[in-house]
Chains A and B, each alone.
Chain A
Amino acid sequence: MEPNSQMTPEQAQAMQEKVKNMSPEELKEFQKQQCIFCHIAEGKMQAKKVYEDDKVIAVLDINPANAGHILLLPKEHYAIMPLMPDDLISYISMVAKALSNAMLKALKVEGTNIFIANGMSAGQKAQHFMMHIIPRNKNDNLPLTVPKMAVSKPDMEKLKEIVTKKVNEIFGIKEEKPKKAEDKEKEKKEEKKPKKTKQKIVDAEFKEIEKKIKKKSTAKKSKKKKEEEEASLDDITNVLNNL
């Protein structure tokens, strides 16, 4: 769909200004009116339908990559996947699986690709979300292979940190910091420490009590000795007096 090519530059500018001032609901209605695929879903435009139910419709692409190339789209107008509700995404992906299976049996091909383009920079051509289901043959040279550009380890670490943080935010997952080996060792040491200090305290108390007992016993002994000595001295003085 390229409306700009059919309008003069002035008309295109006027249209752009009109679109800027619209609310999201008005914008959706506007897109719906312009959308070929909404017309197809409503039956206002002809297309080769291969499957239809109350939520989705599957038609053959008029510019196919291979014979039997299917476009699977929701009947409700959604421009890109992030705008769609989860239950509809789940449903349409189950239909895509069934269509891929049907394609393998009907067209007797050996492989299928499921391709989604979200945004113009990803190659989205129409303003209506759709899944491409493409039958593949050997050596058909379709450019649907994932591009390769090696990533260094430090870059991977950075990416992992940034992406994991965002993912946890979106899914509402709380991050648990993994315990380092040093922290684990510290914890083990702390567990052992209190037992030792308790033992030490008990031992120290016993020692003090022992000391006290010893002191008392030595004090008693020294008293007895003194008494004995005094007694012996008295005896001697008595003896001396009697001479």
Chain B
Amino acid sequence: MPDCQFCKQIKSKENMIYEDDKAAAFLDSSFPGKVTIIPKEHYPIIENVPDFVVGHLFIIANKLSKALFECINSTGTNIIVNNGITAGQTIPHFCINIIPRRENDNINLQWQPKQLSDDEMESAELQLKEETKNIGQFDKEKKEPVKLEKKTEKIEQKDGEENYLVKQLRRIP
């Protein structure tokens, strides 16, 4: 996508710390040590991203959070995905955010738990169960099939000489 900030950043490689064929990771200047991982293809939300790409992105997120544990002395990491504007998504290109945490760093990501009635809990459970029945197999990466070329060897016969292969055929057992 030409207008997408992340698609442009993939090309410019600004603050890039990791890259492979499916994903790229950058340091974000809005918070010290924050890492953003994005798929190289443009997908707005997680529902559009193919399953095998999602799996690959989370494996990279795990390794990068290990790196942050070790190199900038963080004692914890938060991995957050904002899916949709109401969830806080600002750029319409799917991304995974990794935030390094330390004790007493004055960052509050904890929510106040709501006290819901039993009815509310039950109706949510039933509604979700209806949809989760449809969860089946996940998309796998399509690998290109190996093309096998059929080779037929032509037996060349020189004048006056018989090819040894033809001689073999004519041998009387």
Give the interface of A toward B (CB within 8 A): 48, 50-51, 58, 60-61, 63-68, 70, 81-82, 84, 86, 89-107, 109-124, 134, 136-138, 140, 142-151, 155-156, 159-160, 162-167, 170-171
Contacts and interface: CB of A to CB of B under 8 A. Distances in A.
A64 B101 CA distance: 23
A140 B88 CA distance: 11
Contacts, number: 249
B57 interface: yes
A70 B127 CA distance: 13
A81 B15 contact: no
A65 B111 contact: yes
B120 A67 contact: yes
A167 B80 contact: no
Given A91-B55, A159-B32, A106 B78 contact: no
A146 B111 contact: no
A50 B135 CA distance: 11
**B: interface residue count bin:** 35 or more
Interface in B45-70: 46-47, 49, 51-52, 54-59, 62-70
A102 B113 contact: no
16 contacts: A58-B132, A90-B55, A90-B56, A99-B135, A111-B85, A113-B80, A114-B46, A114-B79, A118-B76, A122-B101, A142-B111, A143-B111, A145-B88, A155-B32, A156-B27, A163-B17
Nearest to B106: A147
B157 interface: no
Contacts of B35: 163
A74 to B, nearest CB: 13
B128 A114 contact: no
Which 10 A-B pairs give the minimum distances between C-beta atoms?
A111-B84, A119-B76, A90-B55, A122-B76, A111-B87, A63-B113, A102-B131, A111-B86, A93-B58, A121-B76
